[in-house]
């Protein structure tokens, strides 16, 4: 166990667990699931710790573990029953919705995205990763990130209507 | 507004999360590392051969050496193993029709997994006659049973939601089930008699369910690393205050705690009845659970390998490593007399021994089946 520095790992967890939980929550839409996801990803990170060398690598590794595990979970049919994937947001309320309603609508809309598109949204627009970094996390080509991102934004706009203005983002991300 | 999505995501993600239990994570991670290290130590040659090999394309591979039999006297308290879809016992061989990935024994027969798609395993029951019955599906190769009783359990994913299930192989009925989380570990860590030991996040059992009475006992979290259970004996990891591995400890109501200090990997398999425990070490090692003393197995002590299952109370199945192959032997304890059963040197054919997670972990590393616990680098395995 000498190669696994528990103190350094604990420092990493203390510094980054909040951000990792938030990203995991956006990917799975459930606090309990997000906590399970982070715990699993951190366990994998701890096992891999000797070859990660520095905290930046550890965070990238954990983020990848969260993302790939979340996608795997969503591909298992059983997990769809855990979230309101069949409930469309109340777009007619957009004009006077308070922050809570908008947040609910966003999470409902995210839940209706295919798992890889949802991961692209979180990685690109919440984690602020570049397309290349996102492709590395997902293990796919940059072109796939572009196409998945464009499809995701288009679907979010369709689902959320006036609650979310993505005009600038879509015009930048989607070639004419 | 380009930033609006970011802002909304920030607000949506502002939830309350429980603090991370670093100790639980490092304990689970340490156990994963230990299992992998033992697996690699038992069969490092196999790891290299299989990683470069053809495990992913095994469908249909069979054993043309099989001498098939309909022997009605199907016994499971004997040395047995599988190669491809063929089950070998001392008296007969049985064509199961499915390449066996993992299997466990009960008093009634065997329960095994076989690959049915890239990520999915069928769970089958075979009691010595006719064709195996498909009794479930899973993505988790862990199976649990007590060879002395009729019960076998696994994580079943054939329905809409994953469940931990236990069958009585004598009747074929599912006698217990409960919703299970798809976490990195398996929900049923052990079956002993009519007792099912259940875990949550890792392999430490937190509940004990009695299949006969239905009683559900909370075991609590004492922080001990679970290894095996047999009757009133429970084996746990023995660590010092800093978490360094010292060996195993055997706990029982009658004898208290017996320490086995062998200073290496914390893997152990209790014999039926619990008189012996085979432990993970450089060479075949067996200890007397009553005294904690090492058993003198003569020349067998020098065989690089491990007793990874027990055919009966005094007969151990040993997987030994040679330069080019794995050798399966049946060894008597305490005499140390061994008989070679077979040699696994064709890594294009799946092989399995009962009641063991080690071999499928090795094969999992090859990419033959997507199993999350198989992720391991060469540096970690060494």
How confident is the model over B197-226, as pLDDT tens digits?
Answer: 887 655 567 788 999 888 888 876 665 677
The answer on A9 and A29 residing in a single domain is yes
Whole-number pLDDT of residue B224: 67
How confident is the model over A43-84, as pLDDT tens digits?
Answer: 888 877 876 767 777 888 888 888 877 876 665 433 333 333
| B13 part of a folded domain | no
| B199 part of a folded domain | yes
Separation in Å, CA A159 to CA A83, A92, B145: 16, 11, 49
The answer on A93 and A35 residing in a single domain is no
Q: In total, how many domains does chain A have? A: 2
Of B12, B19, B20, nearest to A103 by CB-CB distance is B12
Provide the residue range defining the domain that includes A11.
1-83
Residue where one domain finishes, among candidates A83, A99, A127: A83
- Is the pLDDT at A168 greater than 60? The verdict is yes
User: In this structure, is the dihedral angle defined by the CA atoms of residues B295, B296, B297 and B302, taken in order, positive or negative?
Assistant: positive
Q: What is the mean pLDDT of residues B262-267?
A: 64
| B114 part of a folded domain | yes
Provide the residue range defining the domain that includes B253.
22-370
| B200 part of a folded domain | yes
The answer on A79 and A94 residing in a single domain is no
Q: Which residues pair with B153 in a beta bridge?
A: B144, B166
| B4 part of a folded domain | no
Better pLDDT: B241 or B304: B304
Contacts of B118 (CB under 8 A, 6+ apart): B369, B370
CATH of the domain at A9: 1.10.1740.10
Of B10, B25, B161, nearest to A43 by CB-CB distance is B25
Residue where one domain finishes, among candidates A52, A83, A114: A83
The answer on A91 and A148 residing in a single domain is yes
Of B20, B157, B376, nearest to A13 by CB-CB distance is B20
| B9 part of a folded domain | no
How confident is the model over A103-154, as pLDDT tens digits?
Answer: 888 888 998 888 888 999 999 999 989 888 888 888 777 888 888 888 888 8
- Nearest to residue B274, comparing CAs of B262, B286, B284, B261? B286
| B253 part of a folded domain | yes
Between B108-112, B135-139, B184-188, the lowest mean confidence (pLDDT) is in B184-188
| B14 part of a folded domain | no
Residue where one domain finishes, among candidates A83, A108, A142: A83
Q: In total, how many domains does chain B have? A: 1
Whole-number pLDDT of residue A144: 83
Write out chain A residues lying below 8 Å of B9, CB-based. Answer: 26, 106, 121-122, 125-126
Separation in Å, CA B330 to CA B86, B93, B308: 19, 17, 11
The answer on A162 and A103 residing in a single domain is yes
Under DSSP, the state recorded for A96 is: G
The answer on A56 and A108 residing in a single domain is no
The answer on A68 and A16 residing in a single domain is yes
Tell me how many residue pairs between chain A and chain B have CB atoms under 8 A apart. Answer: 131
The answer on A107 and A40 residing in a single domain is no
Whole-number pLDDT of residue A75: 54
The answer on A71 and A29 residing in a single domain is yes
What residue in A sits closest to B12 (Cα-Cα)? A103
The answer on A99 and A71 residing in a single domain is no
182-201 in B: which are within 8 Å (CB) of A?
A: 182-184, 201
CATH of the domain at B222: 2.130.10
């Amino acid at each position: 166990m000498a190669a696994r520095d528990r103190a350094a790992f604990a420092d990493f967890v203390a510094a980054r667990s909040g951000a990792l939980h938030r990203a995991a929550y956006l990917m799975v839409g459930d606090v309990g699931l997000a906590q399970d996801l982070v715990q699993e990803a951190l366990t994998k990170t701890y096992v891999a710790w000797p070859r990660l060398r520095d905290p930046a690598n550890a965070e990238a590794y954990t983020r990848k573990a969260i993302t790939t595990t979340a996608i795997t979970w969503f591909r298992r049919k059983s997990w769809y029953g855990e979230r309101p994937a069949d409930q469309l947001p109340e777009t007619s309320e957009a004009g006077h919705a308070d922050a809570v309603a908008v947040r609910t609508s966003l999470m409902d809309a995210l839940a209706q995205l295919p798992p890889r598109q949802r991961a692209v949204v979180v990685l690109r627009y919440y984690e602020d990763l570049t397309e290349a970094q996102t492709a590395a996390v997902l293990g796919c080509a940059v072109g796939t990130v572009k196409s998945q991102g464009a499809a995701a934004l288009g679907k979010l706009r369709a689902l959320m209507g006036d609650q979310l203005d993505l005009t600038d983002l879509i015009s930048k991300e989607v070639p004419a | 507004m380009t930033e609006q999505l970011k802002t909304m995501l920030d607000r949506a993600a502002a939830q309350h999360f429980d603090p991370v239990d670093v100790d639980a994570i490092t304990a689970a991670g340490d156990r994963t590392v230990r299992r992998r290290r033992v697996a690699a130590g038992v069969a490092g040659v196999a790891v290299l051969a299989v990683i470069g090999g053809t495990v992913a394309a095994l469908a249909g591979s069979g054993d043309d050496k099989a001498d098939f039999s309909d022997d009605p006297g199907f016994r499971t308290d004997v040395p047995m193993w599988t190669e491809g879809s063929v089950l070998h016992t001392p008296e007969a061989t049985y064509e199961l029709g499915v390449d066996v990935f993992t299997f466990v024994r009960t008093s009634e027969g065997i329960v095994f997994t076989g690959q049915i798609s890239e990520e999915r395993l069928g769970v089958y029951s075979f009691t010595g006659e006719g064709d195996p019955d498909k009794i479930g599906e899973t993505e988790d190769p862990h199976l649990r049973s007590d060879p002395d009783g009729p019960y076998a359990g696994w994580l079943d994913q054939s329905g809409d939601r994953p469940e931990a299930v236990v069958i009585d192989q004598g009747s074929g009925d599912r006698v217990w089930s409960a919703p299970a989380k798809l976490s990195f570990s398996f929900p049923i860590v052990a079956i002993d008699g009519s007792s099912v030991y259940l875990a949550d996040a890792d392999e430490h059992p937190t509940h004990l369910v009695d299949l006969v009475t239905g009683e559900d006992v909370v075991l609590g979290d004492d922080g001990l690393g679970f290894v095996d259970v047999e009757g009133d004996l429970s084996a746990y990891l023995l660590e010092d205050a800093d978490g360094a591995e010292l060996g195993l400890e055997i706990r029982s109501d009658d004898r208290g705690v017996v320490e086995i200090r062998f200073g290496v990997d914390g893997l152990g398999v209790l014999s039926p009845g619990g008189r012996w425990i085979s432990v993970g070490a450089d060479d075949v090692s067996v200890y007397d659970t009553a005294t904690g003393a090492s058993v003198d197995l003569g020349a067998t002590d020098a065989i690089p390998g491990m007793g990874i299952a027990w055919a009966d109370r005094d007969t151990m199945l040993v997987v030994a490593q040679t330069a080019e192959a794995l050798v399966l032997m049946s060894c008597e304890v305490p005499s140390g007399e061994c008989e070679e059963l077979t040699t696994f040197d064709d890594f294009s054919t799946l092989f399995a021994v009962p009641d063991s997670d080690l071999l499928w972990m090795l094969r999992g590393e090859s990419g033959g089946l997507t199993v999350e616990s198989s992720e391991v680098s060469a540096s970690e395995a060494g």
